Every structure is written in structure tokens, then in C-alpha cells.
Amino acid sequence: MAPDVQELFEAARAVQERAHAPYSRFRVGAAVRAASGTIYVGCNVENAAYPQGSCAEAGAISAMVAGGERHIVAVLTVTDGTELSTCCGGCRQRIREFAAGDTPVHAAGRDGLWATFTLDELLPSSFGPENLPPR
């Protein structure tokens, strides 16, 4: 694994341990690297009122924006289990808000990297901020 991806993986693995997933028992860790090089992390946070739960990627993106950044250059998620899990559809759109189509989105398991996609591969012909008229 390239050193920059390894760094994302380690950050995502660490925060995955903090996931609050008592209902699905599916823990997710996410790490996004912003334009400055800083890594922001998030984990899924479920809720007894099920629809109020949030995805790991949403937490990482919120941390990035709260940290004063608006541009994602790479994303990595880590999940358990034996199947490759990629970002859900909603999170692909959340990433789209702050990332270009060629941004790498890595999917990892506990033991390391499983696959790398571009955002365009995960969310083709997407809708984004440029589709809205200037305000």
C-alpha cells in the first residue's frame, strides 16, 4: 500500500474502533484527506430511533468542514467482514460535494486495502454544485 493510503487506512482503522453500531453491529471507519494534507476521520453513529443514525463518511466530512476545509483529495473506508463494502449511495453524493470526479475512493477491510475506485466510477454522470445556477 502506498504510504499516503496506509496513513488513511490507519486513521480509519483507529476511528472504526469508536463506532457506535449496537443495532447493525457493522462498524465503519472513514478517513478523508483534505487539500491541506490533513486527515479527518469519522465513524458510524447509530441511534435507537434508527433513521437518525449517521454514516462514517458523513462524520469525517463534517469534521473536515468544521476544520475549515472544503476540498477532498482522497477517501478511505474500512469495514469488517469478508465482502468488499463501498460507500453507500448517500455518502457518494456527500463526497461529490467536495471532491472532483478523479478523486480516489478506497475501500478496505481490517487486513488492508481491497479496492480503489474513482468517485466518477462510484457516482457516474453525477449532479454537483456546478449544476446549479450561480448565486
To ligand THU, the closest distance from the beta carbon of 82 in angstroms equals: 16
Do residues 119 and 92 lie in contact, with contact meaning Cβ atoms separated by under 8 Å?
yes
- Rounded-to-integer distance, Cα 35 and Cα 84, Å: 27
Name the residues annotated as catalytic.
57
List C-alpha distances in Å: 77 to 4, 42, 72, 111. Answer: 14, 10, 14, 13
Helix, strand, or coil here: 112? Answer: strand
- The footprint of ligand THU (CB under 6 A) covers 21, 24, 26, 28, 44, 46, 53, 55-57, 87-88, 91
To ligand THU, the closest distance from the beta carbon of 48 in angstroms equals: 13
User: Between residues 33 and 36, which has the closer beta carbon with respect to ligand THU?
Assistant: 33
Element (H, E) at 58: helix 56-66
User: Between residues 22 and 129, which has the closer beta carbon with respect to ligand THU?
Assistant: 22
User: Between residues 44 and 103, which has the closer beta carbon with respect to ligand THU?
Assistant: 44
Question: What does the radius of gyration of the chain's CA atoms come to, in whole angstroms?
Answer: 14
To ligand THU, the closest distance from the beta carbon of 133 in angstroms equals: 30
